[in-house]
Structures are given as structure tokens and as C-alpha cells.
Amino acid sequence: MTRTLPLFLIALLAVCMFSNLSHGKASESAFGWLVSGSYAVYSLGSTSSEAPSHMGFDDWAYANPVLGNYSWRCLKLNGGYAELEVEVNITVWARPEAGGSTSGSVVYTGKEFLEKAERGDFSFIRRIPMDQVVGRVELVNMSEFGDEYFAVRIPAPVYIYKKLVVTVDLNTMELVDENRVPWGKWALWINPLKYPLTGRTLETFVMNWLNTTVSLYVFYDDGAGPPADTAIGRFERYFAASCEEPIENQNLLKLGIILTPPAIVLTYVYEPRVGILLHARGIYLDDILTQKLGIIYEMGPPGLSLLDTNISIEPRTSFDLRIYLPYLAVLSITIIVVSAYFIKKKYRVKR
């Protein structure tokens, strides 16, 4: 029995450390902070006239400038699943211009849209509420310096609102339907215990963006990178999820979104103890925005940023080891027992 005890403890340590710290599945116990009533609110865009945020939609719409909130609230936990109420509130706002005029609109660029609108056919507008379209659209048909420009314009303000209930599988971070069939990935928090403090882990963050999946590398930043500034405070240490190269998709060109190359760059920043999203630098997208609202990107400073939450988080200047205490305790006990065993064995050999 005494001979097998050290081996048993070493095996126990390996199971605890590797399955929970590095590659273990997320479970309800990994999200002890998540209870009914937990919530987080994020800001989208800014009121800066110098660097406005803008959005692209999967029906060819381009909205500029945009401002809004994106929030979630936990309704209940049930057997490893979290039921969440998600609310998205976006405003295309009227930006003041010189001379007292304003600018801001949702625009569909292309002759085919103009021709349909001239016939009173607005079926191509799928993401803007129709009560904000009829009687407000402006038809643009102009030629300047030999260039033709055709567009259908909906002037600001334009309001887009959606509230829905989603279910998150806490083991996989997948969004699932009523039959537990995955249809997307949840990106507004991660399980920090899943990822090592060194190296990188490739993880899917968006299951269906313009008929492709989006995978990012998750890694721990111990302060070498730029800090994450939020309304909660400045975070110097965090987990980041980022792409090595721009994510290209030719559908961006088909939708009239002119980027060179037709690609996006994503970097999401997560609080290191709890794992909730703190900030998205530059561009943000996820399966809820893409599949439920048709928003294929949101771009512009300051990006998606944490505005308010009742989850206990605070900026720290050093990494918090409290979440690792159970594993450190197992490690300490194992070292003591194994050391005692070998000391005793060595003593017996000498005798």
C-alpha cells in the first residue's frame, strides 16, 4: 500500500492539473460567479465625430455612424447550461456637420437597389425595421466627373433593437437550440481555467460568419501588450484571443464592403480570473450579431467595451492565483508525501 500511494497521488495530481488547468472541459463549477441575475453591459461605438463607428450588414447595408449597447443577463442555470437574455440596441445617429447640417445614414449602394426602390419594392431591406423605411428613403442617382453613383439612403436616426433568449452549453461554449443542437459560439466570456499561461490555444469563436468559421488563438498576456481600458478600469493582464493573419472573405466584396484586402482583424480581451469579455479592439463580431441581426462587422474606436456589470472583477497589477489554490494544494500535498516516502525508503536502504 505504501509503495503505491506515491504513484496514486502523482496520477491524481496529473488528472487535476492537466484536465482542469490546461485542457479540461468547462463546466458549471468553472463558472461559480455565474448566477441568476448576473449581467454585463457593453458599449458599441462612440459619439466622436472624428472617429465614428460603422457597421456592415448581410443585406448590403452600410450604417454610419453607429452607437449602442449590447448586454446579457443570466436567467437560470440548468445542468451545465445557462439560459441568457440578450439585448442589442443600436442607433444610427445624426452627426453634426458644418453649417448646422447633419449626416448619418444606412446606405444600399448599387443600381439594382435604386431600380427596385423606384418601383416601390423595398424587399431588399431585411435588417432595418420597415416602419423606419417607408416615407423616409432617399434615392440617389448622380454622375460626377464621369463616375456614376446609385444608392438608396435611409437618413439618421435609425433604430435597430432585438431582445432574445439564448442557451449556452457551459462545457463547449456553444449556443444551442431547444434540442441542444449547436448553432453558434458564445464569445462574451471564456473559461480561463481551460487555457495555459504559456503558449497559445486555437479556438473557434464564430461558427458562421459569411459561411465560414472564425478561429482565434487564445493566450495569456502578463502585461507585455497594451492595457485594456474599460469603464470598470484599466486591465494590464488578461487573456487575449486574436488572429495571426487578417481573416479574408470574398463575400465582403460581394456585399460592397471595400476593404484592402477584403479581410478583418480581430482581438478580444478577457478578464483573467472570471473570463468575461473586457474589450474588443477595432472590429467585433459574433454568432448572435451575425446570425440574428445580420451584422457582419462593427468597426471603429473604441470598439466593443465593458460598460457595467455586477460580476466581481477589478483591475490587478499581478496575476491572481486564488483560482488555482485547490490545484496548488494537491501539488503541495503530493510533494510532501512523495518526498517523505523516498526519504523513508532511502533511510531503510542505509540500514
Cα 296 from Cα 285, distance rounded (Å): 6
Helix ranges (DSSP H) in 60-124: 111-118
Cα 296 from Cα 286, distance rounded (Å): 8
CA distances from 29 to 32, 33, 172, 191, 339 (A): 6, 9, 14, 11, 32
Helix (H) or strand (E) holding 308: strand 305-309
CB 161 within 8 A of CB 171: no
What is the reported pTM? 0.79
Cα 275 from Cα 295, distance rounded (Å): 24
Which residues are within 8 A (CB) of 158 and not within 5 positions of it... i.e. 6 or more apart? Answer: 63, 91, 92, 105, 106, 128, 132
The residue assigned the cell 448576473 is: 38
Neighbours of 272 (CB within 10 A): 22
First and final CA of the chain: distance in angstroms?
Answer: 21
Whether the pLDDT of residue 24 is over 50: the answer is no
Cα 151 from Cα 251, distance rounded (Å): 20
Least confident of 49-53, 90-94, 236-240, 247-251: 49-53
The count of C-alpha atoms lying within 13 angstroms of the C-alpha of 272, restricted to the half-sphere facing its C-beta, is 25
CB 202 within 8 A of CB 191: no
Least confident of 18-27, 114-123, 296-305: 18-27
Rounded mean pLDDT of the chain?
A: 82
Amino acid at 320: D
Cell numbers of 191, please?
473559461
Domain ranges of the chain: 32-104+156-320
Give the model confidence (pLDDT) of 116-164 as tens digits: 999 999 999 999 999 999 899 999 998 765 678 899 999 999 999 999 9
Rg (CA), the chain: 25
